């Protein structure tokens, strides 16, 4: 036993600022996720699949002669790629669902909050772990699509760069939405399975019924219920593509509103969480 020979000596070092403490949580969290086979597989397949299908969609629209000049509207198709929805759901469920729920389950939440950081620091760090990984599916494939299209000469660099800029904005919007909603769901329960199920419920549980119902009763305003359709409306509006039947400004307001609301509720919940157990 080493306790008879303690090597413990008093340390006199200034502590680093809070942002570096938050960065430590982010870096450790990202490293941990990027070592998990499930996260690696979902991210890798997600990026590859969404990029390839986006490129195919773009090239198909180029090959089929419509007489239309190669402009930004061609990028509305890749931005509305349904595989984005599928993989963003999968990533949010596999990576995001456990971000807060796991800490509550293992009670590590107590350890975090007994350290010199605030609940906001903790939440920001968790969001900063999830957001870049979600952006791998929501932004990166669109950027790659525009880049490859420009390299192959399908579009001018001016249009490709413009498409990249818009992709960052609309992809960023989707990233923020899913980050906020996933963290909110993750903060609701100690069981990450419940949060993961919640992510799928928000996506497919709203999108599929809304789409079916809108077709059945021929009323497109029901599509506002679906975050994915809201996003598609915004993306289509941003790239100047065809309308999907709902107004993109309203859809944008809904997406932003839900994002802000989910973030606020998560923040309030975290502030209110008192470490009572034990």
Partner 1 sequence: MLVETAGLTKVFGDVRAVDDLTIQIPDGAIGLVGPNGAGKTTFLRLLLSLLQPTAGTAKVLGRDIGDGVPVRERIGYMPEHDCLIPDMTGVGLVSYMGRISGLDRDTAMSRSHDVLQFVGVEEERYRKIAEYSTGMKQKIKLAQSMVHDPQLYIFDEPTTGLDPRGRTEMLDLVRTIAKSPGRNVLLSSHLLPDVETICKYVVILDGGHQIAAGELSQLLTGSTDRLRIDVRGDQAAFARLLKEAGFDADAGPSGLHVSRKPGLEAAVFETAKSLGAEVRYMGKEIRSLEELFLELVARTDKRGA
Site residues, partner 1 (CB under 8 A)? 1-3, 6-11, 13, 15-18, 20-21, 24-25, 28, 32, 103, 106-118, 274-278
Nearest to 26 by CA among 93, 124, 114, 169: 124
For the bound state, the minimum distance from the C-beta of residue 158 to partner 1, rounded and expressed in Å, comes to 44
Measured from the CB atom, is 20 or 158 closer to partner 1?
20
Measured from the CB atom, is 108 or 260 closer to partner 1?
108
- Tokens 């502590």 locate to 15
Measured from the CB atom, is 73 or 118 closer to partner 1?
118
For the bound state, the minimum distance from the C-beta of residue 133 to partner 1, rounded and expressed in Å, comes to 18
Measured from the CB atom, is 11 or 64 closer to partner 1?
11
For the bound state, the minimum distance from the C-beta of residue 14 to partner 1, rounded and expressed in Å, comes to 8
Q: Which two tokens stand for residue 48?
A: 């590859």
Q: Which residues of 222-254 are buried (b: 16+ CB within 10 A; e: fewer)?
A: bbbbbbbbbbbbbbbbbbebeebebebeebbeb
For the bound state, the minimum distance from the C-beta of residue 16 to partner 1, rounded and expressed in Å, comes to 5
CA distance 245 to 222: 10
- Cα-Cα-Cα-Cα torsion 16, 19, 25, 29, nearest 10 degrees, comes to -130
């Amino acid at each position: 036993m080493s306790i008879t020979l303690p090597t413990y000596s008093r340390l006199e070092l200034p502590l680093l600022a809070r942002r570096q403490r938050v960065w430590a949580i982010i870096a450790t969290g990202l490293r941990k996720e990027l070592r998990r086979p499930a996260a690696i597989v979902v991210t890798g397949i997600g990026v590859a699949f969404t990029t390839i299908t986006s490129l195919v969609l773009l090239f198909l629209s180029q090959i089929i002669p419509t007489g239309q000049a190669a402009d930004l509207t061609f990028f509305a198709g890749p931005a509305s790629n349904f595989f984005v929805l599928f993989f963003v759901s999968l990533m949010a469920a596999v990576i995001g669902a456990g971000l807060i729920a796991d800490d509550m389950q293992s009670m590590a939440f107590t350890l975090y909050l007994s350290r010199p950081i605030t609940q906001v620091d903790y939440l920001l760090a968790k969001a900063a772990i999830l957001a870049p990984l979600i952006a791998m599916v929501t932004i990166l494939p669109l950027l790659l699509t525009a880049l490859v299209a420009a390299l192959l000469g399908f579009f001018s660099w001016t249009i490709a760069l413009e498409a990249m800029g818009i992709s960052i904005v609309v992809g960023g919007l989707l990233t923020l939405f899913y980050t906020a909603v996933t963290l909110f769901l993750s903060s609701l329960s100690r069981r990450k399975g419940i949060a993961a199920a919640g992510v799928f419920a928000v996506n497919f549980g709203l999108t599929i019924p809304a789409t079916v119902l809108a077709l059945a009763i021929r009323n497109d305003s029901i599509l506002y219920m679906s975050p994915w359709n809201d996003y598609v409306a915004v993306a289509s509006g941003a790239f100047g593509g065809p309308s999907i039947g709902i107004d993109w400004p309203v859809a944008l307001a809904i997406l932003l509103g839900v994002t802000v609301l989910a973030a606020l509720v998560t923040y309030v919940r975290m502030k209110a969480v008192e470490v009572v157990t034990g």
